A and B are shown apart, each in its own frame.
Chain A
Amino acid sequence: MSGQTMATEPPLLEINDLHVHFPVSGALFSRRKQALRAVNGVSLHLNKGECLSIVGESGCGKSTTALSVIGLQAPTSGDILFEGKSIIGANAPPRMERARIAQMVFQDPYASLNPRQTVHRSLAEPLRLHGTKSRSEIDDRVAEMLRRVGLTPEQATRFPHEFSGGQRQRIGIARALILDPHIIMLDEPVSALDVSIRAQIINLLLDLKEQLSLSYIMISHDLGVVEHMSDRVAVMYFGQIVEIGHWDAIFSSPTHPYTRKLISTIPDPDAILQTGVKAVLRNAPPPPQGYRFYPQDITNPDVYAAPAPSELISISEDHQVRCQRLSA
C-alpha cells in the first residue's frame, strides 16, 4: 500500500527536534523565568501518501505540534522541513506559499466556519487570495470540491447554520482541500460527530486520500479510529514521543507502559467477548537490554522541568520506543 518511498528521496515532511515552550509569568518582580514545556524535542517524518496519527491525552502537546506545522505556532527551537527545505525561521517561505503546503481540518465544525459567510464565499476566498481571478474558474473549482466531499454545488449558497454537523465537517474538509495542499492536518476530525456520521467522514477521508494522493497527520485520542485510518502511529506523552511505529506494531505489540495504559483504558465492546486487542496486553514486554522505559512514572509529569535525556530505541523494523540508558 502507501507509506513506501525511495530511500534517496527526502520524506514529504520532517520534524527535527521540535521544542515549543510557553513562557509562564512567575511572581511579580521575579527574574526567574518559567516555561511550560508543551513539546520537548519531537522528531518525526511523514512520507507521501501516508496517514500518520499522533495520539495522547489532552495536554500532551499533540495539537501544539500540529499548529507548528501549519505555522500557527512558532517553535522555540527545532526545524520543520518540507521536501527537504526548511519552512520555519529565516528561510521560511511566505505565508501564501505555506498555505499550499499544509492545511488543517478542525475538530469542531460548528466553531471553525464563519457563520456570516456562505459556503461558497468560505471556499472561494482562499482561491481568490491565491490569484484565481476568473469567476467561472472559481465557481467550477468550488462546485467540484463540494461534489468531491459529497455535497451538491447548489448547497454553496447556504450558510453554515443550515447544515448538520456531518455536512459542516464535509465543508471543513472542502475548505482545507481547496488549495490542493500536500499535507492535511486532521485535528480530532470525527470526535465531535455522532457515531453514524463518524463512519461517513472516516470513509470520505480515506477515499479522498486515495483519490487525491494526500498525506495526513491525524491527531486523535480515539484509538479505534486511529487503528482504522493510520499507516503509522506516534504516541505522545508529556511533549515527547514515547513510542512510534507501523500501526500494526503499535497495536499488536504495544511496548511502552504509557501506550499500554492508553490502550487498556479504551472501553472496548469486544472486551466482553474476549476477542479484543486487549489480549496482547497481558504480558508486559521487558525494556531492551541495558535500558529502561522513559518516563518511568506516567502519572504526574512536571510540565516545567526539562525531561531527562532519553532516546528512541528501535525494537523491530519501524517500531521505536523511548528508553533511558542504564548507567553502567
Chain B
Amino acid sequence: MRDIPLLEIKNLDIGLKIGGHEQNIVKDVSFDIMRGEAFGLVGESGCGKTITSLSIIGLMKKPLAVTGGQIQFDGTDLRGLSSRDMRDLRGNRIAMIFQEPMTALNPLATVGRQIAEMFVLHNGMSWKDAEQRAVEALASVKVPAPEQRVHNYPHQMSGGMRQRVMIAIALACDPELLIADEPTTALDVTVQAEVLKLIHELCSARNTAVLMISHDLGVIANMCQRVGVMYAGKLIEERDTYDLFADPRHTYTKGLLGALPRLGSRQRHGRQRLVDIDSIVTDKSRLTEEFYFEPRKPQMAARADSEAR
C-alpha cells in the first residue's frame, strides 16, 4: 500500500495568453512527491520546469496562468485557495530557494532581519525573539560566527554564504516541501558540493520533501530518489534515479545523457562524439504529434512497473 503523497500534481496545464492567442507552456504534467522524498526535475531552459514549480508555490504572474489540472498539497487543492491562504502557506509549509541569491535577497535589509521576518510573519514572534532565532537558524546552515553575521547585508557575503542564508530563510518555519530551483548553478564547484550536502542533511533530518530543479544531471543524481525529465512542456519520463541513469528509455533522455561529457567516459584512444540533441525546444515546428506519442508509451510502462511493485 502506498501512502498519500504530500504533493500531487495531476494533469497540470499552464497557458500563456498574449492578446487573443493562447499557447500551452506546460501540458498535462503529473507527478507526486511523498513526505521526505527528494524529486528532481531536469530539462533544458524553456522546457517548463521552473514554471511548474512557480505554479505550485503560487507565484505565477500574468500572462501565465494555470489552465487545467490539480495541484493537491496535503489534501487541499492549491488552485482553490485564496491569495491570503496561499500567502500563509508560502514560506511556512512550502518554501523556495532561488538560483541567484543576490537578486532573491533584499539588499537593504540585514540577513538577520530577513530570516527573523519569517518567524514574525508565520509564527507571530516578537522581533526581539525572532532575531534571536535568526542566529540559531544561521548557525544551522553552518555560517561561521552567526552572531556577527546576522548584522551583515547580503553584499557583504560571498555567493556560497548568501545561498546558505537563502536556505536558512527557506527552512526557518520547518516547511514540509522545499522547492529548490537551480540552487547551485551560480556557485563554484567546491562550494556547490557543500551547499548540496547542506540541503541534503537539513532536509533529511527534518523529513522535508524536496523538489529539485536543475539542468545538471549530476546534481539530480546525487540528490534525488526519483527524477522527472521535462521536454517542451511535457513530462516525458519519470523514474527512480538509479533506473533512469542505468537504462534511460526515452530517446530524449538518452540524448540528454549522451550530450554531456561525463567524467570517466573518455576512452584512452579517441573520444566519442557527443550526442547532438539539437535545439528542438526552440524549434516548435519539429514538435510533431508523433514525437510526443512515441515516448508516452515507455513512460506509461514505467508507471505500470512502479505500481505493480
Interface residues, chain A, with chain B CB atoms under 8 Å away: 1, 57-58, 164, 166, 194-200, 202-203, 206, 221-225, 227-229, 247-248, 251, 261-273, 275-278
- Contact bitstring B9-35, A, C-beta under 8 A = 1, else 0: 000000000000000000000000000
B301 is an interface residue with CB less than 8 A from chain A: no
**Docked pose: A273 CA to B244 CA in angstroms:** 10
Prevailing SS type, chain B contact patch: loop
**Docked pose: A225 CA to B188 CA in angstroms:** 15
Asked if A270 and B260 make an inter-chain contact with CB atoms under 8 angstroms apart, the answer reads: no
Chain B: which residue is nearest A165 at the CB level? B45
Query: Given A267-B221, A270-B245 in contact, is the A276-B45 Cβ separation under 8 Å?
Result: no
Q: List 15 A-B contacts (CB under 8 A).
A: A195-B44, A195-B256, A196-B256, A196-B276, A198-B260, A225-B261, A267-B196, A267-B222, A267-B223, A268-B222, A269-B257, A270-B264, A270-B265, A273-B242, A273-B246
Asked if B189 and A57 make an inter-chain contact with CB atoms under 8 angstroms apart, the answer reads: yes
Chain A: which residue is nearest B241 at the CB level? A272
**Docked pose: A94 CA to B290 CA in angstroms:** 59
**Docked pose: A229 CA to B266 CA in angstroms:** 9
Asked if A203 and B273 make an inter-chain contact with CB atoms under 8 angstroms apart, the answer reads: yes
Measured CB to CB, the closest approach of chain A to B230, in angstroms, equals 12
**Docked pose: A265 CA to B193 CA in angstroms:** 5
Contacts of B221 in A (CB 8 A): 267-272
Asked if B261 and A194 make an inter-chain contact with CB atoms under 8 angstroms apart, the answer reads: no
Contacts of A269 in B (CB 8 A): 217-218, 220-221, 245, 257, 260, 262
- Contact bitstring B250-277, A, C-beta under 8 A = 1, else 0: 0000011111111111101111011111
B103 is an interface residue with CB less than 8 A from chain A: no
B113 is an interface residue with CB less than 8 A from chain A: no
Query: Given A227-B264, A266-B263 in contact, is the A196-B219 Cβ separation under 8 Å?
Result: no
Chain A: which residue is nearest B196 at the CB level? A267
Query: Given A196-B256, A268-B218, A269-B257 in contact, is the A263-B263 Cβ separation under 8 Å?
Result: yes
**Docked pose: A129 CA to B302 CA in angstroms:** 61
Query: Given A199-B260, A203-B274 in contact, is the A267-B216 Cβ separation under 8 Å?
Result: yes
Contacts of B223 in A (CB 8 A): 267
Asked if B263 and A277 make an inter-chain contact with CB atoms under 8 angstroms apart, the answer reads: yes
**Docked pose: A198 CA to B258 CA in angstroms:** 11
Taking CB atoms and an 8 Å cut-off, the chain B residues in 96-144 that contact chain A are none
Measured CB to CB, the closest approach of chain A to B232, in angstroms, equals 12
Measured CB to CB, the closest approach of chain B to A231, in angstroms, equals 11
5 nearest CB pairs, A to B: A277-B264, A267-B218, A228-B261, A265-B193, A199-B274
**Docked pose: A272 CA to B133 CA in angstroms:** 37
Residue in contact with A224 in the complex, picked from B220, B256, B260, CB distance below 8 Å: B260
Contacts of B190 in A (CB 8 A): 57, 261-262, 265
Asked if B218 and A228 make an inter-chain contact with CB atoms under 8 angstroms apart, the answer reads: no
Asked if B222 and A271 make an inter-chain contact with CB atoms under 8 angstroms apart, the answer reads: yes
B192 is an interface residue with CB less than 8 A from chain A: yes
**Docked pose: A272 CA to B221 CA in angstroms:** 7
B289 is an interface residue with CB less than 8 A from chain A: no
**Docked pose: A248 CA to B192 CA in angstroms:** 25
Chain B: which residue is nearest A228 at the CB level? B261
Chain B: which residue is nearest A230 at the CB level? B266
